[in-house]
Structure 1
Amino acid sequence: MTTRPHIEVAVVMRKVPTSSKWQPFRWELAEVVRHEESFGTEPRLLQREPSGAEQWLHPALRVELFRDEAEGYHLNLTTDAPAWFVMWRMEEEPTVADEPIARPVVVTLSYHEAGRWLDAQETVENVPAPGEVLAWAQEFADAHYVPEPRKRKRPESFRRLEDRFGNPASVSTGKKYGGGEGG
């Protein structure tokens, strides 16, 4: 069994008070950092302010690079602001706090993967990725990304004629009905 290139990261989620009476706070992605052994493996509260703002550390998330995502890495790396993409969900029931908290589920560097999550109506946010991580992903993308060759577009005049139902159609220059020659 071969192992994929991977790194361990920790995600910091932030609870931010709002001025809305219907939603007193919202959760947002604060940052993604390299995992350190001292972080442990369980989420923990980093900071709680009198305003109700909180920061939670979610350690030991694995970021793997997949060959079939090489184009997604390439697209991310060639933007003006290459980023980590984090898909997160709210807990159904509280597990480590008195109330449910936002939990990161997956972290990636693939633009395509993040797009699929968004298409599935998941919550996805991004933050800038550091240079050493970008260099690591760039090396992988360079080794595995092969741009698809551009296909020459056939001129419209060579396209097969079809009717509105997709059946072959023909064009004739002769008269089909009515008074033909000498008639």
Structure 2
Amino acid sequence: MSEQAGSTGRPFLYVVVCAAGVASGVGELITAARRRGWEVGVFATPVAMGGFFDTADAEARAGRPIRSAWRRPGEPRPFPAPDAVVVAPATFNTVNKWAAGLADTLAVATLCEACGLGVPVGVLPCVSDALASHPAYRASLDRLRGMGVRFGDPYGGVAGADGGPRFDWEQALDLVEPH
């Protein structure tokens, strides 16, 4: 990991949050990233900002405001350039727009830009089996993999062994850290 201009000199991670029910647990990802030595900046899709996760908690854990809206011309960038980006949870909509280069939200534009800059990107999809079988989604995964994007195990709402939902937040970090 390279050292960017984070306030502590630690590597900087962008976390992109999409509108899926499991987004309520994104605080686990932020905490795990900070424990592993990352500074964190959170981007969220506009729909995700509408109650899919506790934004105040995410901001407190990251130590920075969440970005969802475009900044105005002349406003400074609130985060340094990323050393890596994770998308968790990644929805059907975001994956397809990203692969097509449809940067109509700050979150998707950030993903498009990260790929163009060669920044490591790890993704934890959260897509139902029905949507995952859609030909457009499969083609989007192939296109993004061809761009160097790394994907973790998909989550389709299946319960874990304990009966509760299973979403492996730390797997997102494993995808972008050097082995």
Looking at both structures, which has the greater relative contact order when contacts are Cα pairs under 8 Å and sequence separation is at least 6?
2
TM range (shorter): under 0.3
Task: Give me the TM-score of the superposition, normalised by structure 2.
Answer: 0.27
| Higher Cα radius of gyration | 1
How high is the TM-score relative to the length of structure 1? 0.27
